Amino acid sequence: MRTRLSSLALTVLLGILGLGTVFPFVWMIISAFKSNSEINAADQTFLPKTWTFENFLSIESKFDFLRLFGNSVFLAVTITAIVLYTSALAGFVIAKYQFRGRGMLMGFTVGTMMIPWAVTIIPRYTMFADAGLQDNYLSIIIPAAISGFGIFMMRQNMHAVPDEVLEAARIDGASEVRIFHRIVLPMSTNSIAALAIFQFLWVWDDYLWPYLMISDNANQVLAVGLTTFAGQYGTDYGGLFAASTISVLPVIIVYIIFQRRFVAGVASAAVK
Amino acid sequence: MTLSLRRSAPPAPAPTGSKRRAQEKRRVRTYPGERALRNVVIIIVAGSLLGLTAYPIGLAFVGSFHYWNPLVGAFDFVGLENYTTILSSADFWGAMLRTGGFSAIVIFFRVALGLAIAAAIFSKVTRGKTFFRTIFYMPTVTPLVAVAYVWQMMYNPQTGAINTFFGLDLNWLYDPQLALPSIMAMTIWKDFGYAVILFLAGLHAVPEDALEAASVDGAGAWQRFWRITFPLLAPMTVFVVITSIISYLQAFVQVLVLTKGGPGTSTQLISYLIYDKAFLKYDFGYASAAAFILLIVTALLTLISFRFATGRKSSLEG
């Protein structure tokens, strides 16, 4: 009886907190289907009185959000793929080979995670502007291609790949390149999934750097487009709800699909 | 980062000269292809460290001693002037204090909520563990720019969900007293799920027989948590605190979206101040000097947290 009661109490408590946690998302999605007059009305209802797609259609005609969405997807997928590969490779080499300077390489790589963006963004801005890379996606891709966090996380993960497995493959005559691609990568899927979501989200969310580097509106990313839209149409709350929904929903869907793998990967990065 | 934290025994002493040589002798042969992989990694990682981190830091350091304004093409040596201006500026100290308060409060709630919710989900009597875990982690994986706009609309005094729902009439983001706490609340909501996941992982690693033994000895649930579970979670707590310190000293996007530092300077955090100086006023020299001070503060706080963690650990063991 007592455990039943405490079970109920805990579940109710978690339920209330959970509702509070998802409320902003629910409210955002529902409000995106309200007309602006309803959003601004004095008496607020939770559900729209009349459901409308008007917000989604109007932001598209005003701002070409699909295009920005496509730009963000392209950059996020490209950078994530590069980071996953470079991080897994560097993590493998640093974890499994003995060589001079290994500790230093790892130390400095981890150290980069501590450096505030404010320190490097000004010189990087002048460097990339001087190199004529403004309005070029290379300026977004190059600084993100090697990730200190990614290397750190993948190196932690390499404890999950026992040396005996590698030795066995070596005895069978597999080259190191083959071992990395055929054994190490498939054994690292949890960490790769976790890093993939993190990295995807960072690119998706990056605001200041694309804002500084890309001036052509058609090539801009979604996060910057959102702030520009809010600046120009600040009173179009319906549009802002719709634009936020477009930006948030894909990430939530990907997360829910991969959440089990993802949670395992995130946890393993910190535990070992 | 956590490598040494989780280890309970002190790190093994470094191999002495002769031992090391013996180790190397045992493996004179490198594996086929190893050298190539190693060189590729060394070149790309060291290249990126030098070109995209070390060189920019050097440039920022040199620039911090200059009047540096790209709009007028100025790069004139001014010595320590930027630093003396900053250190005697009320705006800078205000932003630093605000950032300190912001970080301390957000980190406290992030750890407290994360620990409490993780313990609740971990409890044997809780149903729907995966469901709750998925829900609580959701804000962490959503893009900050977009959710910051959603919160801005939730804080809207006329039409926002918060005033409507609680029947309040508060001007959250335009009241100098409430604006910073409002940003804190949004940040806590966004980030506590990360702590939940990490503490859950930590709880799974707590040995069950220790808890059972304590239970047999008559320790209550509360005592078991504070005497056994919590000390074992200390390394995880330190990890959460250190990563939080690093990220909150850089908090910027939520300020940009919600208040742009206002009203007045009541929500101007240090990273927003640097952004404002660098990319709205184009005073690169001043901004670089401020960024360097931020770097030093970050490094010191991280170091102190590590020291605190290792000191604590040895006192527990000793």
For chain A, domains (ranges, CATH) are 62-271 (1.10.3720.10)
> Does B223 contact chain A (CB < 8 Å)?
no
Q: Which positions 39-98 of A are in contact with B (Cβ < 8 Å)?
A: 39-41, 44, 86, 89-90, 92-94, 97-98
Interface mutation vs chain A, best among B19, B52, B298, most A CBs within 10 Å: B52
pLDDT at A233 over 50: yes
For residue B263, is the peptide bond before it cis, meaning its omega torsion is within 30 degrees of 0?
Answer: yes
> Residue A206 belongs to what H/E stretch?
none
- What angle separates helix A148-157 from helix A237-271, to the nearest 10 degrees? 40
How many Cβ atoms are within 10 Å of B220's Cβ, its own excluded?
A: 9
CB A124 within 8 A of CB A143: yes
Q: Give the integer Cα–Cα distance in Å for B254 and B244.
A: 15
Beta strands in chain B (DSSP E): 66-69, 74-77
Residue B134 CA, distance from chain mean position? 22
Q: What are the pLDDT tens digits along chain B (318 aa)?
A: 333 343 344 444 444 555 555 555 455 567 878 888 999 999 999 999 999 999 999 999 999 999 999 888 889 899 899 999 999 999 999 999 999 999 999 999 999 999 999 999 988 777 788 889 889 999 998 889 999 999 999 999 888 888 888 888 888 999 999 999 999 999 999 999 999 988 988 888 888 888 888 888 888 888 888 888 888 888 889 889 998 999 999 999 999 999 998 898 999 999 999 999 999 999 999 999 999 999 999 999 988 888 887 765 544 443
Q: Which of A121, A127, A244 sits opposite B150 (nearest CB)?
A: A244
Of A17, A226, A255, the CB nearest to B138: A255
Choose, out of A120, A235, A251, A268, the residue to mutate when testing the contact with B (most B CBs < 10 Å). Answer: A120
Q: DSSP 3-state assignment of B68?
A: strand
At B75 the three-state DSSP class reads strand
Scanning A158-197 for CB atoms below 8 A from B yields 170, 175-178, 180, 197
Nearest Cα of chain B lies from the Cα of A256 at a distance, in angstroms, of: 7
Among the partner residues B33, B70, B136, nearest to A126 by beta-carbon distance: B70
pLDDT of residue B311: 66
The number of residues making up chain B comes to 318
Q: So what's the pLDDT on residue B189?
A: 96
Of B44, B295, B302, nearest to A119 by CB-CB distance is: B295
d(CA B198, CA A269): 9
pLDDT for A55 beyond 50: yes
C-alpha dist (Å) from residue A26 to A29, A43, B134:
5, 19, 15
**What confidence tens digit (pLDDT) does each residue in A12-25 have?**
889 999 999 999 99
- Which positions in chain B touch A129 (Cβ < 8 Å)? 70
Closest-CA residue of B relative to A258 is B134
Interface test with B, best of A23, A79, A115, A155 (most B CBs within 10 A): A115
Kindly determine whether residue A119 and residue B292, on different chains, have CB atoms separated by under 8 Å. Answer: yes
Q: Choose between A100 and A263: higher pLDDT.
A: A100
Distance of CA A213 to the CA centre of its chain: 20
d(CA B63, CA B51): 17
Beta pairing partners, A226: none
Cβ atoms of B201 and B236 closer than 8 Å: yes
A201 — pLDDT class (breaks 50, 70, 90): confident
Q: What angle do CA A242, A54, A205 make, to 5 degrees?
A: 15
Query: Residues of B with CB below 8 A from A13's CB?
Result: 120
For residue B189, list chain A residues with Cβ-Cβ distance below 8 A: 21, 24
Q: With the C-alpha atoms ordered B239, A149, B109, B119, is the resulting torsion angle positive or negative?
A: negative
Higher pLDDT, A263 or A20: A20
Query: Could you count the other beta carbons within 10 Å of the beta carbon of residue A253?
Result: 10
Q: Give the distance from residue B177's alpha carbon to the nearest chain A alpha carbon, in angstroms.
A: 23
Q: Which pLDDT does position B6 carry in this prediction?
A: 39
Residue of A nearest to B254 (CA): A207
Calpha distance A33→B234 (Å, rounded): 46
- Give the separation between CA B132 and CA B118, rounded to whole angstroms: 10
Tell me the mean pLDDT in the region A52-79: 89
Contact A65/A244 with Cβ under 8 angstroms? no
Residue A259 — pLDDT band, cuts 50, 70, 90? Answer: confident
Chain B residues 4-63 with CB within 8 Å of chain A:
6, 24, 27, 31-34, 36-38, 40-42, 44-46, 48-49, 52-53, 55-57, 59-60, 63
Greatest Cα-to-Cα distance within chain B, rounded to the nearest angstrom = 76
Chain B residue with CA closest to A95: the answer is B38
Separation of CA A35 from chain center: 31
Contacts of B299 in chain A (CB under 8 A): 114
Contact A185, A88 (CB under 8 A): yes
Give the Cα separation of A14 and A20 in Å (integer): 10
Average pLDDT over residues A174-186: 91
What is the 8-class DSSP label of residue A135?
Answer: T
Question: What's the CA gap between B206 and B227, in Å, rounded?
Answer: 12
pLDDT attached to residue B226: 87
The answer for residues whose C-beta is within 8 angstroms of residue A242's C-beta and 6 or more apart is A32, A55, A56, A59
The mean-pLDDT minimum among A88-97, A242-251, B8-17, B262-271 falls in: B8-17
